[in-house]
Structure 1
Amino acid sequence: MLKLKNRNGSLAQISEAFENHKKQFIAEAIEVMAYVGEEFVKNAKTNLHVNKSVFPKGNYQDQTANLRSSIGYYILHNEKVVKYNLEPLANMSILRSLFTRRSRKGLRLVGVAGKDYASKVESKGYNVITSQAEVAFVDLKVDLTAVARKYGITIR
């Protein structure tokens, strides 16, 4: 909850308190997103949580380790990468595709399989990251809701 030192604060003091409160929330939200992103990467690389009804063939055989090693995440705040698990320069095509879409303000966690053939592998009935992304989405909503509640924010 936002608390002011005194009730007779100036507009500038109120604005400063609000901005500090907002910065604290954003910093905590980024940490939660990083934790969920790391879990997403770990689960995708170790084949955990594969939805067999969607991917009847389960996981693919990664013979070169290129596809699995390309799995990672980016956290963006107002279109700037603030945290990542993949080297940004090595994955510029992924980053470019994120920014060519409609501009989005706020925070985003983007899980990726950096090889261009990942979607082709999934279209053949094998899981690459989709099952783990579904788990990450649920975890992220639960965890961010808890952080938001701490700051008096309601997430629907």
Structure 2
Amino acid sequence: MKRGGGLKALFTRNTVEKAFEIWKDRIEWQIEESLLYAGNEFVNKARLTGRYKDQTGNLRSSIGYMVIKDGQILGERFETYDGKGEEGVKKAKEFAERLASENPRGLMLIGVAGMEYAAAVEAKNFDVITGAGTETEQLLKQLLSKINYT
């Protein structure tokens, strides 16, 4: 009886590695898109639901987000609200960039209210970003649970 028969692979190790790389890239893309979508929803909700008086526009304009992957910006949203609040935009972007530099590895969504007094407004029982942050976490859980891993 002849030995060494049996099964013969119809693929190479290189073929399998390429297939896994394509699979990994597709999943990473879905995660990145989920983070970008959630970031936009965070900004929309926080700006529209805040029941505080924003006289200069800086506080609402300081609400923004950034998606970072290994120190690289994949997407961001920092813009004035109703055409005012340039200082808020500047402070938000600086704050998000500082947070990103403190966490240079991995994939993350950074949502901020960049004005220094945002926490003081929240302490007076006015929701600046807390509610939107909680809703965004729930949204992200839903989005990530729907990712197709096949």
TM-score, scaled relative to structure 1: 0.74
Partner residue of 1:51? none
Corresponding residue for residue 54 of structure 1: none
Residue in 1 that maps onto 2:11: 9
Match of residue 81, structure 1, among 73, 93, 106: 73
Match of 1:34 among 33, 36, 47: 36
CA distance in 2, matches of 1:11, 1:130: 49
Q: Percent identity?
A: 34
Q: Give 1:18-97 correspondences, 5 Å limit.
A: 18-47=20-49, 59-86=51-78, 90=90, 91-97=93-99
What runs of 5+ residues in structure 1 fail to find an aligned partner? 1-6, 49-58
Pairwise CA distance, 1:79: 2.7
Distance across 2 between alignment mates of 1:143 and 1:109: 14
Structure 2 partner of 1:55: none
In structure 2, how many angstroms separate the alpha carbons of the residues matched to 1:84 and 1:93?
A: 13
Structure 2 runs not aligned, ≥5 long: 1-8, 80-88
Larger Rg computed on CA atoms = 2
The CA distance in 1 between the partners of 2:21 and 2:114, in whole Å, is: 36
Deviation of 1:96 (Å): 1.6
Letter in 1 for 2:33: E
Question: How many Å apart are 1:44 and its aligned residue?
Answer: 0.7
Instruction: State the Cα distance separating 1:104 from its structure 2 match.
Output: 3.7
1:112 is matched with 112
Counterparts of 1:43 and 1:134 in 2: how far apart (Å)? 11
Q: Give, in whole Å, the separation in 2 of the partners of 1:80 and 1:64.
A: 32
1:134 match: 134
Number of aligned residue pairs: 131
Task: Report the Cα distance in structure 1 between the residues aligned to 2:100 and 2:34, rounded to whole angstroms.
Answer: 21
4+ long deviations beyond 6 Å = none
